[in-house]
Amino acid sequence: MRREIRRTMMFLNCQKASLVKDPYIYEPDCVILDLEDAVAAQEKDSARFQLYNTLKYLDYRQTERWVRINGVDTPYFKEDIRAAVAGKADGIRIPVCESAADVKVVENLVSAAEEEFGLPVGSTLLMAALESPKGVLNAFSIAAATPRMMGIALSAGDFTRTMHAKHTKTGEELFAARGQIVLAARAAGVMCFDTVHTDLDDLDSLRRETELICNMGFDGKSVINPKQIAVIHDVFNPTAKEIKHAEHILLALSANKAKGIGVMVVDGKMIDIAMKEGAERTLKLAKVTGLYKGDLV
């Protein structure tokens, strides 16, 4: 099912039936059925077989279904694309994407598979994981490579490896990449996602990291374990105070517009037309998540 919001994209190892059978019970916005690094080299074929059957026969309810194929430099990715499209995945995540040309290679195969399996050409979304200096530097051309592009994501495991950087809890090694990715995504009009948090037991640092990327403008975060979902949703969901403030802004802007007043004070803050879109975004997110029942958006 297609989602408007994608706060969480949870990885599932396609090698493990126990993981892929019912992940929707944890209510992530999206799942990423992984054929790449979570799957051992000798298990690629059986994981792909399991992927196809999972997509075809299991009902993931409200959860959007993505497939992480193997990279375009591997012998596996062409069959991965056929299986994902045949199973009607919502989208395909391209790992270690380095250029718009990589996106085009995948897109051409996706179009061919859509024709082969009788789906409308263009119906499968794409997203790209940027995991190397080249990928991050090419973020804008990758994000703008095709109308199928849903978003771009930072993948810090491979990024820190290729940068010879340390993966820290404070994330200074990721500042430049995060900044570049969120800028490129907004310029191209696509979504952007932060990397997985690998420290499974440290939910406090997950919260701090999620607050950082939420404040920067990211739309969501990749997830490796169900216990990370509630923390991330909690950070992304607007608070009652934010919802009230957004309502006050929209009401004040509309009332003052009629009087010819452009700048005003709302809840102690200066407000003008520049704040309208942000307030609307807050209320839309609150509406989709069931936190706002009003009719201002």
Residue 98 near Mg ion by CB under 5 A = no
Beta partners for residue 60, in sequence order: none
Which of positions 205-244 make contact with ligand ACO (CB under 6 A)?
A: 224-227
Comparison of 29 and 131: residue with beta carbon closer to ligand OAA: 131
47 interacts with, out of Mg ion, ligand OAA, ligand ACO, none, CB within 5 to 8 A per kind: none
Residue 18 near ligand ACO by CB under 6 A = yes
- CA 226 vs. chain centroid, Å, equals 16
Contact 44, 70 (CB under 8 A): yes
Stretch that binds ligand OAA, among 15-23, 55-63, 97-105, 148-156 (CB under 6 A): 148-156
Burial environment of residue 205 by CB neighbours within 10 A (0 to 12, 13 to 18, 19 or more) = middle
Residue 34 near ligand OAA by CB under 6 A = no
Torsion of CA 288, 212, 149, 146, to 10 degrees: 140
Residue 9 near ligand ACO by CB under 6 A = no
Comparison of 47 and 275: residue with beta carbon closer to ligand ACO: 47
67 interacts with, out of Mg ion, ligand OAA, ligand ACO, none, CB within 5 to 8 A per kind: none
42 interacts with, out of ligand ACO, ligand OAA, Mg ion, none, CB within 5 to 8 A per kind: none
Contact 95, 71 (CB under 8 A): yes
Rounded distance between C-alpha atoms, residue 233 and residue 240, angstroms? 14
Question: How much helix, strand and coil, in percent to the nearest 5, is found in the chain?
Answer: 50, 15, 35
- Residue 71 structure tokens: 């990279």
Q: Which residues bind ligand ACO (CB under 6 A)?
A: 10-13, 18-19, 23, 34, 37-38, 157, 196, 224-227
